[in-house]
Structure 1
Amino acid sequence: MRRQAHLTDEAALSVAQDYVTMVIGGQTFGIPVLDVRDVLGPQIITRVPLAPAEIAGSLNLRGRIVTAIDMRRRLGLPADGFAEKAMAVVVEHEDEPFSLLVDEVGEVLSLPSTLCEPVPATLGPRWRDVSQGIYRLEDKLLLVLSVGNVIDAVTPDAIH
């Protein structure tokens, strides 16, 4: 379901960007819709020995091994038992699939790119590192997630 967020008419006429929304620890995030390859319900995740804490493990997606990143751990939030019940947003980075484990996946929002603001300096460093912008919606803030920053921070040697 795609909808136009309630913004001014002038802003709605500007170039829009579509985002898949998701919730992590009560905060709404958005990923550009073109970066999302799949959305999955809870999956069986196999733990990878000696992997960083943010790596929940790996899962099998139609015969491909996909690294699962626990977004709660990545953001410094409590994550006990989270990976077993999390939704999985599958993205690709440098031709490799990754699954971002989130609390829930919402709708697709079409937002004017002119209303995207820089990430506030007051945002915690872990959150700032994974965000590339922020939208002030009527009832909440939407942080735009930088898929590359999320993945590069937890798997620097694995894909470079």
Structure 2
Amino acid sequence: MTDRAESVLVATDSTAGLVSVVVGGQMFGVPVLCVQDVIAQTVINRVPLSPPEVAGSLNLRGRIVTAIDMRCRLRMSPREPDVGFMNVIVEHNGELYALLVDDVGDVLWLEPTEYEAGPVTLSPHWRAVCSGLYRLQGELLLVLNIEQVLTLSGTTSLAA
């Protein structure tokens, strides 16, 4: 990710910190304050009857962590079985979740004045899980809204 190194700025009180991740060739940003850890591929145990986005669970230093397949969550094609992934561990409402992503890049410190709302051309599904974007050199960094990412299909009412 050396071509993105120019986007890394010195952190100040007026910058937004995002951990850059890649899912299906698209770059996303996870708010750095939500990220607890980044770990390499690890064993994930399937959870019966879970929503399709839930890849399973993993053990992280004695804690059970729910693993979310971000390719499935973002309605992308599945990862090939022999292709590795990374786990971005986030905390939400006291629970830990592992976001399964293709790759993890740098922590980017970006100016809030460069932040833009998501374009209307963005798919409604992606707009629902992204709070906005930053334009980097030649590509877009979509900012993930962790609360919305973790609102899974299995948590909605079946009566709806």
For 1:50-107, what per-residue CA distance to the aligned partner results, in whole angstroms no more than 9, with x for missing partners?
1111100000000000000000001111115459721000000100000000000000
Q: Which amino acid aligns with 1:76?
A: R
CA contact (8 A) 1:135 1:142 kept: yes
Which residue number corresponds to residue 116 of structure 2? 117
1:34 is displaced (CA, Å) by: 1.0
Shift in alpha-carbon separation, 1:80–1:23, aligned structure 2, 3 A: closer
Letter of the structure 2 residue corresponding to residue 151 of structure 1: L
Q: Distance in 2 between matches of 1:99 and 1:14?
A: 28
Q: In structure 2, what is the Cα distance between the partners aligned to 1:60 and 1:13? A: 35
Question: Residue 134 and residue 66 in structure 1: after superposition, are their counterparts in 2 closer, same or farther (change >3 A)?
Answer: same
Give the equivalent residue in structure 2 for 1:20: 19
In 2, Cα distance between equivalents of 1:13 and 1:42: 32
What root-mean-square deviation, in Å, do the aligned CA atoms of Structure 1 and Structure 2 show? 2.6
Unaligned runs of 5+ in 2: none
- Partner of 1:37, secondary structure, is strand
Q: Kindly indicate whether residue 7 of structure 2 is the aligned counterpart of residue 5 of structure 1.
A: yes
**Residue 74 of structure 2 aligns to which amino acid in structure 1?**
L
CA drift of 1:13 comes to 8.8
Per-residue deviation, residues 21-66 of structure 1 (Å, max 9, x unmatched): 0000000001111110000100100000011111000000000000
CA contact (8 A) 2:53 2:152 kept: no
Q: 1:13 to 1:99 in 2, by over 3 A?
A: closer
TM-fit CA distance, 1:155: 5.5
Cα distance between partner residues in 1 of 2:68 and 2:56? 7
Structure 1 equivalent of residue 61 of structure 2: 62
Q: Distance in 2 between matches of 1:36 and 1:84?
A: 23
Q: Distance in 2 between matches of 1:155 and 1:110?
A: 34
> Helix, strand or coil: the match of 1:149?
helix
Q: Runs (4+) of structure 1 moved beyond 6 Å?
A: none
Q: Report the count of equivalent residues.
A: 153
Unaligned runs of 5+ in 1: none
Q: Which residue of 2 aligns with 1:51?
A: 50
Partner SS for 1:109: strand
Using structure 2 for the length normalisation, give the TM-score: 0.86
- State the identity as a percent: 50
CA distance in 2, matches of 1:70, 1:6: 27
Q: Aligned residue for 2:102?
A: 103
1:152 match: secondary structure: coil
